[in-house]
Amino acid sequence: MVLRQGDDVLARLEALMLEKDIPSASIQGMGFAGLVRFGFFDFERSDFQPRDFADMEITGLVGTLAWKKGKPAIHAHATASGRDFQAFGGHLLALTVGRGSFEVTITVHDRRLQRQHDESIGANILLLPDMD
């Protein structure tokens, strides 16, 4: 999947999951971000503390595509660096492609995987068929 300037990476991945009915997948990607929003999970508040970075090279995006209550549920983390090459990273909350492009490789799996909210830890967990 090759995305262009202005594309919303997470929205485009969700649309692709719906269009192709992807049961689950692992993804990797890299490219230029006009805006990337990272979050660090705050378990006290049960929410992500966000921070935005503009005009960054995404040096590595890793994630999984699954479903939650019939809707696409993407979980991705990424590392990014700017003009001074210093790297930042975190849980990916938003990513808009910058000038240039963004390439994502999607490895589709056969089994439909679900995420479920786990009350004990206050986060969504990916469920695998052989998990206890």
Query: Which parts of this chain interact with its own copies (CB under 8 A)?
Result: 1-2, 4-5, 26, 28-32, 38, 40-41, 43, 49, 51, 53, 57-64, 75-83, 85-91, 99-101, 103, 105, 107, 121, 123, 125-128, 131
Best CA proximity match to 36, nearest among 17, 67, 59: 59
In a 3-state reduction of DSSP, which class is residue 131? coil
In angstroms, the CA 96 to CA 99 distance is 10
Residue whose pair of structure tokens reads 């699954």 in the numeric block:
66
Give whichever of 71 and 127 is closer to its own copies, judged by the CB atom: 127
Q: How far is the CB of 80 from its own copies (least distance, A)?
A: 7
Q: What is the DSSP letter of 8?
A: B
Q: How far is the CB of 61 from its own copies (least distance, A)?
A: 8
